[in-house]
């Protein structure tokens, strides 16, 4: 017994001696993980404190669930949850209809060289930052200079004050988001379509199927796994609003908050403007926990459909 | 087409028939010419909608400032002028400075991120590395759960004390979990374990193996992830929004953000502040702002044409499972 233990110990020692370099290699990454992810995870405790700048993290008073009570008693929690969920649902629907349709159409074009050019153009918005996109949107919507109001005026119609009219914003945000992401999503679908075995189509053509029937009965069923997985991954992130979109495009106009405020912008405002750290942390934790549950559920469903594609 | 075939000598009758059938098959697996034209028309319209806002901003940046004030933004400038660009590139020292900050962060950030990611991903790809499951999970878990904005902000400001330093703009993109997993998968596919074994027998150190065998074999993955890093750092306005108040450290994106917000603020306060036009005179003109946007977009558009295939490879890279 003693001997076995000893050789095991010696083996272990030898392993670490031989592989010490591997651990050294990982050190910078571990430090980055600590700084960006694991230290902040400890900071979740802030959600249960009444944070006070002068008292600091350890000195601040514990308040239990007070922050959460306060959050859910205000009508804000309801509004930001509703906005986050509804916008994301629309964005997901757009992705599986417009982006998928676009990918199928691109794949059908007879001259694939020209199709590549279209694809490059559709992909372009993905490369622009939200700040740049906010400039682009402003060039269209600016009240006195904007292109759209220019057109309205030339038709003798009254210009519209876009940045102070909440009723337009669901449409504007959905349009801008579609503009930015459709090319990106369609590339993923298109890659799956290109991968389909051509002999399926030939066999169907021999049997007299029209091209439309081929798309319906071969293309779409073949890429169904990709559609499902992409959609479920997005469902897993449905509790996270795209901060760049919701912060930059409406330009933080207070009058629009009702239709533009999502959980992420709410947390940011609570942190930087009202300075209510405990509340901001509580909202963030609410988002992270529900987000985790959603991702795990989505993953479970993916696993049932196709275990190969599940995340874990 | 069929005439061409019969002209080819030495084909038997059955071969000829086979080729003909294949041609008609190829045609039956394509859409009709008419449908093709319809798709082209739709695509051209959509492509125009995609680049229209960019063309508009470009047009404004090239228009004479006075024309803008009287006629608004138009797609075709009635009077061309390069004043905005000469202002931005010559006279506006803060814009040039911001451009420098962006360049510095993009180069230093992208390269160090690539190195940190590759160094972490390599041991994970080694079958003989004992703790690879643990360290893979450490990365993977951060994709499922995070502490949220507030604790992250507090760690940067109160624990690391990097507010208003260049690190606050480099650290956020230094270690993207997804890229680590992608890189690990690539290493384990592209680098054969036997190769590492052989190098070890020849007495090469782990670092030497990493540097001289693993990295050269992984150029496509390094290019892909490097480019995603470049895109992140070039376009980053979020980290300066959170952590930078020192004007000297503003990058281009954040400077654009600030200029835009101060104008929105001034216009919305125009009643109480009185003479807005005087306040606005300290801010880059309409055309100069649009020129700034074009200058911020330019390198990205230029680069992306050449690197598109890497981006697409990165987007469709599969198998990130642990």
Q: Which chain A residue shows the shortest CA-CA distance from B160?
A: A35
Final residue belonging to a domain, choices B67, B82, B97: B82
User: Does residue B51 share a domain with residue B26?
Assistant: yes
Q: Which carries the bigger pLDDT value, residue B272 or residue B74?
A: B74
Residue B5 has pLDDT above 50, yes or no: no
Are the Cβ atoms of A150 and B72 closer than 8 angstroms? yes
Q: Please judge whether A135 and B261 are an interchain contact, meaning their C-beta atoms are less than 8 angstroms apart.
A: no
- For residue B261, being part of any structural domain is answered with yes
Task: Single out the residue in B29, B64, B82 at which a domain terminates.
Answer: B82
Q: Do B29 and A205 touch (CB under 8 A)?
A: yes
Q: Touching check for A249 and chain B: CB below 8 Å?
A: no
Residue A50 carries which DSSP code?
E
CATH of A66-309, one of 1.10.3720.10, 3.40.50.720, 1.10.1740.10, 1.20.1740.10: 1.10.3720.10
**Pairs from B27-31 (Cβ < 8 Å, separation ≥ 24):** B28/A205, B28/A211, B29/A198, B29/A201, B29/A202, B29/A204, B29/A205, B29/A211, B29/A214, B30/A108, B30/A110, B30/A211, B31/A108, B31/A110, B31/A211
Q: Do B164 and B227 belong together in one domain?
A: yes
B194 and B208 assigned to the same domain: yes
Quick one: B106 and B32 in the same domain? no
Residue B276 lies in a domain: yes
Distance CA(A59)–CA(A62), nearest Å, equals 9
Q: Is residue B162's pLDDT more than 90?
A: yes
Do B13 and B94 fall into the same domain? no
pTM: 0.88
Q: Which of B31, B54, B82 is the last residue of a domain?
A: B82
Residue B198 has pLDDT above 50, yes or no: yes
Residue of B nearest to A103 (CA): B43
Query: B28 and A205 in contact by Cβ < 8 A?
Result: yes
B307 touches chain A (CB under 8 A): no
pLDDT for the residue A264: 93
Quick one: B311 and B232 in the same domain?
A: yes
A-chain residues within 8 Å CB-CB of B315? 184, 187-188, 191
Are B110 and B73 within one domain? Answer: no
pLDDT of residue B278: 59
Contact A211 B30 (CB under 8 A): yes
What is the residue range of B24's domain?
2-82
- The per-residue b/e assignment along B258-290, b for 16 or more CB within 10 angstroms, e otherwise, is bbbeebeebbbeeeeeeeeeebbeeebbbbbbb
Domain residue spans in chain A? 1-36, 66-309
Interface of A with B in 16-35 (CB under 8 A): 19, 21-23, 25-26, 28-30, 32-33, 35
Q: How far is CA A94 from CA A35, A82, A227, A258, in A?
A: 36, 18, 12, 23
Tell me the shortest Cα–Cα distance from A149 to chain B, in angstroms.
9
B142 lies in the same domain as B70:
no
| Pairwise CB contact (< 8 Å): A109 & B40 | yes
Per-residue pLDDT of chain A (312 residues; tens, 9 = 90+): 566 777 778 888 888 888 889 999 999 999 999 999 999 998 888 889 888 777 877 788 888 888 888 888 888 889 999 999 999 999 999 988 999 999 999 999 988 899 999 998 999 999 999 999 999 999 999 888 888 998 998 899 998 989 989 999 999 999 999 999 999 899 889 988 988 988 999 899 888 888 889 999 999 999 988 888 888 888 888 999 999 999 999 988 888 999 999 999 999 998 888 888 888 899 999 999 998 999 888 888 878 877 776 766
Beta strands in chain B (DSSP E): none
| Residue B321 pLDDT level (bands cut at 50, 70, 90) | very low
Window 122-161 of B: residues touching A by CB (8 A cutoff) are 122-123, 126, 128-130, 135, 138-140, 142, 144-156, 158-160
Q: How far apart are CA B88 and CA B286, in angstroms?
A: 12
Are B216 and B76 in the same domain? no
Q: Decide if B321 is inside a domain.
A: no
B45-54 pLDDT per residue, tens? 999 999 999 9
Give the residue from B23, B113, B123, B150 with the most A CB atoms within 10 Å of its CB, the best one to mutate: B150
Q: Are residues B118 and B228 in the same domain?
A: yes
Whether B66 is covered by a domain: the verdict is yes
Same domain, B135 and B225: yes
CB-based contacts of A199, cutoff 8 Å, min separation 6:
none
Picking from A84, A307, A284, A267, the residue whose alpha carbon sits closest to that of residue B145 is A284
A99: contact with B, CB 8 A cutoff: no
Is position B21 within any domain?
yes
Note whether A252 contacts B: Cβ–Cβ < 8 A. Answer: yes
Are B128 and B217 members of one domain? yes
- The answer to whether residue B322 sits within a structural domain is no
Q: How many domains does chain B have?
A: 2
| B289–chain A nearest CA distance, Å | 9
CA distances from B93 to B235, B260, B288 (A): 20, 18, 13
- Give the domain CATH number at B96: 1.10.3720.10
Percent of chain B scored above 70 by pLDDT? 83
Which of B148, B157, B210, B229 is the mutation pick for testing A, counting most A CBs within 10 A? B148
A65 or B110, which is more confident? B110
In a domain, residue B40? The reply is yes
């Amino acid at each position: 017994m003693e001997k076995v233990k000893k050789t095991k110990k010696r083996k272990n020692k030898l392993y670490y001696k031989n592989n010490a370099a591997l651990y050294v290699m990982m050190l910078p990454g571990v430090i980055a993980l600590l700084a960006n992810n694991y230290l902040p995870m400890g900071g979740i405790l802030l959600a249960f404190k009444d944070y006070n700048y002068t008292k600091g993290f350890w000195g601040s008073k514990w308040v239990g669930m007070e922050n959460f009570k306060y959050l859910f008693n205000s009508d804000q929690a309801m509004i930001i949850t509703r906005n986050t969920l509804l916008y994301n649902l629309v964005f997901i629907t757009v992705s599986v209809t417009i982006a998928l349709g676009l990918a199928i159409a691109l794949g059908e074009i007879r001259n694939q060289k020209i199709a590549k050019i279209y694809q490059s153009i559709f992909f372009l918005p993905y490369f622009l930052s939200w700040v740049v996109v906010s400039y682009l949107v402003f060039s269209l919507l600016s009240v006195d200079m904007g292109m759209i109001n220019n057109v309205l005026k030339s038709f003798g119609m009254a210009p519209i004050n876009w940045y102070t009219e909440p009723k337009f914003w669901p449409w504007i945000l959905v349009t801008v988001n579609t503009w930015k992401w459709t090319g990106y999503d369609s590339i993923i679908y298109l890659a799956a379509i290109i991968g389909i075995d051509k002999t399926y189509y030939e066999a169907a053509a021999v049997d007299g199927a029209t091209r439309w029937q081929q798309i319906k009965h071969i293309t779409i069923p073949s890429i169904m796994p990709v559609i499902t997985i992409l959609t479920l991954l997005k469902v897993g992130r449905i509790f996270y609003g795209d901060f760049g979109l919701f912060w930059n495009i409406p330009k933080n106009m207070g009058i629009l908050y009702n239709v533009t405020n999502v959980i992420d912008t709410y947390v940011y405002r609570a942190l930087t403007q009202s300075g209510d750290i405990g509340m901001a942390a509580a909202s963030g934790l609410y988002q992270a926990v529900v987000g985790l549950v959603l991702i795990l559920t989505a993953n479970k469903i993916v696993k049932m459909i196709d275990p190969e594609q599940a995340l874990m | 087409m069929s005439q061409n075939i019969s002209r080819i000598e030495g084909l038997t009758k059955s071969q000829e028939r086979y080729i003909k059938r294949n041609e008609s098959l190829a045609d039956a697996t394509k859409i009709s010419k008419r449908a093709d034209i319809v798709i082209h028309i739709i695509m051209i319209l959509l492509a125009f909608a995609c680049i229209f806002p960019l063309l508009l901003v470009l047009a404004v940046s090239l228009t004479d400032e006075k024309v803008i004030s009287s006629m608004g933004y138009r797609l075709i400038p009635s009077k061309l002028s390069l004043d905005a660009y000469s202002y931005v590139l010559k006279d506006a020292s803060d814009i040039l400075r911001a451009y420098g900050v962006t360049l510095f962060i993009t180069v230093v950030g992208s390269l160090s991120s690539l190195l940190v990611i590759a160094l972490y991903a390599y041991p994970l790809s080694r079958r003989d590395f004992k703790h690879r499951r643990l360290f893979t999970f450490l990365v993977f878990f951060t994709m499922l759960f995070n502490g949220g904005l507030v604790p992250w902000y507090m760690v940067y400001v109160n624990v690391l004390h990097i507010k208003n330093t260049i690190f606050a703009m480099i650290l956020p993109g230094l270690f993207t979990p997804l890229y680590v997993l992608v890189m690990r998968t690539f290493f384990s596919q592209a680098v054969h374990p036997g190769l590492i074994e052989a190098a070890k027998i020849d007495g090469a150190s782990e670092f030497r193996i990493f540097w001289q065998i693993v990295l050269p074999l992984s150029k496509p993955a390094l290019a892909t992830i490097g480019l995603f890093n470049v895109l992140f750092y070039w376009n980053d306005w979020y980290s300066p929004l959170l952590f930078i108040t020192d004007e000297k450290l503003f990058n281009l994106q954040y400077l654009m953000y600030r200029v835009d917000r101060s104008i929105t603020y001034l216009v919305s306060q125009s009643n109480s502040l009185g003479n807005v036009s005087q306040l606005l005179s300290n801010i880059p003109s309409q055309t100069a702002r649009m020129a700034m946007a074009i200058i911020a977009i330019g390198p990205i558009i230029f680069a992306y044409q050449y690197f598109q295939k890497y981006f697409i490879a990165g987007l469709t890279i599969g198998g990130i499972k642990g």
